[in-house]
Amino acid sequence: MSFVQSVIRPNIRSLEPYRCARDDFKTGLLLDANENTQGPALTSVTEEEELLNLNRYPDPHQLELKEQIVQFRNLNPNEHKTADSQLLSPSNLVLGVGSDESIDMLMRCCCQPGQDKILICPPTYGMYSICAKVNDVGISRVPLQFPGFQLDTDAIVTAVKEDPSIKLMYLTSPGNPTGKLLSVEDVVTISETVAKFWKGFVVIDEAYIDFTPNKTTDGKEYSESVATLTTQYPNLVCLQTLSKSFGLAGIRLGITFCTEELAHYLNSMKYPYNISSLTANVALRATGKDTGLTSMQKFVVQVAEQRDWVLQNLQKLDGIGKNLGGLESNFLLLEILDKDGKPSNEVAQKLYQVLAVDNQVVVRFRGKELNCTGCLRITIGTESENLKLIETFDKCLKQVR
């Protein structure tokens, strides 16, 4: 039995994937899928919509889109990738309806309800806990080290060594709500160490990874993403999305990078037509080398410039404390202080309410997260939105303190 087979549930190992109409034939006189041959029920159809054949089921495999994604990620491999390890290929990818489907699918694949657990490192993304609850999966918690919000590698290794019911660990890099890039060295150390005794997957959620600049060594660029390392470490899984740096939250496309064997089982589990023709069309344009990628990289630079400007100007205001998180995402995690200069959930909660209710400026209160007392998470807006943010913060801080 392979490593992958030893982790996933027996019922998934024996699963016969659903064979849909488009698995066999995609062209010709297609009268096999009970589609409406009259066309879409729209009063008018644009030329682009006509080309998408919206009355037909979409491609269940999306190989063209997967090929574009791996070409982009293979351009700048992680510096820990060895010369003899394979490049990413479409067979290493699973596409889902946003990262949330990817998170949930891994749990359904690997965790026996009522028996197994996941490990998370708070403060972290809340959907891990929600998916665990829905799937009747337990949760083991190893907090991020504070300050700094980095992994407690020794504690994580000990946790999975002492509790074999843990099947997945979800590590977020850059973190949410921390905005802090995890040390890739720590991720590699954990992956290599636990592989010696643990039957489980190290899952790195990289929703914000493109906001982190590439490293440059000897004139060559290396990505901080661990996506390209998933062909090197069988127990490593990487999740990404087009929602953040690509600005496509509305199309709901998530990407799982993993070994070909795990990808086979995940693709067998997924619903056959989970990526719509509309989503695939936009995603293809966004990940094209000479089209969307150029725009994405330009927007990432603009967000970084505006993030630095927002931080500088907010911290000039009386009542704003430290930026508790990192500068490797499209948001800030700022402390709100009381009159004694201490981080205060009470003041932060009041400020959050006044901003949203009275001024229509909506940020996120994160003060109840571990080691985030008094914190608001603030997404970086456009230049005009950020100007309004600063003005409104100044006015509202004076009201609530």
Query: What is the mean pLDDT of each successive set of 10 residues along the chain, which is 401 residues long?
Result: 96 90 84 89 90 93 97 95 95 97 98 98 98 98 97 98 98 98 98 98 98 87 96 98 97 98 97 95 92 92 97 97 96 97 97 97 98 98 98 95 85
Please name the amino acid found at residue 319: G
pTM score, whole prediction: 0.96
Confidence (pLDDT) at 98: 95
Q: Which residues share a beta bridge with 169?
A: 119, 202
* Cα–Cα distance, 209 to 172 (Å, whole number): 10
Confidence (pLDDT) at 345: 98
Contacts with 358 (C-beta within 8 Å, 6 or more apart), sequence order: 396
Q: Is the dihedral of CA 165, 177, 125, 238 positive or negative?
A: negative
What does the chain come to in residues?
Answer: 401
Confidence (pLDDT) at 341: 95
* Cα–Cα distance, 280 to 249 (Å, whole number): 13
* Cα–Cα distance, 318 to 341 (Å, whole number): 9
* Cα–Cα distance, 257 to 81 (Å, whole number): 15
Confidence (pLDDT) at 264: 97
Among residues 73, 37, 43, the alpha carbon closest in space to that of 55 is found at: 37
DSSP 219: T
Confidence (pLDDT) at 26: 84
- Regarding the domain delimited by 3-20+57-289, which CATH topology (the fold level of the hierarchy) does it fall under? Aspartate Aminotransferase; domain 2 (3.40.640)
Cβ–Cβ contacts within 10 Å for residue 281, how many? 17
Among residues 346, 341, 387, 384, the alpha carbon closest in space to that of 365 is found at: 346
Per-position DSSP letters for 378-392, written without gaps between them: EE---HHHHHHHHHH
CATH pick for 293-400 out of 3.90.1150.10, 3.30.390.30, 3.40.50.1220, 3.20.20.30: 3.90.1150.10
In the block, tokens 């790195």 appear at: 204
Q: Is the dihedral of CA 17, 119, 122, 224 positive or negative?
A: negative
Domain(s) labelled CATH 3.40.640.10 in the chain stretch across: 3-20+57-289
* Cα–Cα distance, 167 to 165 (Å, whole number): 6
Per-position DSSP letters for 109-120, written without gaps between them: HH--TTT-EEEE
Domain(s) labelled CATH 3.90.1150.10 in the chain stretch across: 293-400
* Cα–Cα distance, 42 to 299 (Å, whole number): 34
Confidence (pLDDT) at 382: 97
Confidence (pLDDT) at 126: 97
Confidence (pLDDT) at 18: 86
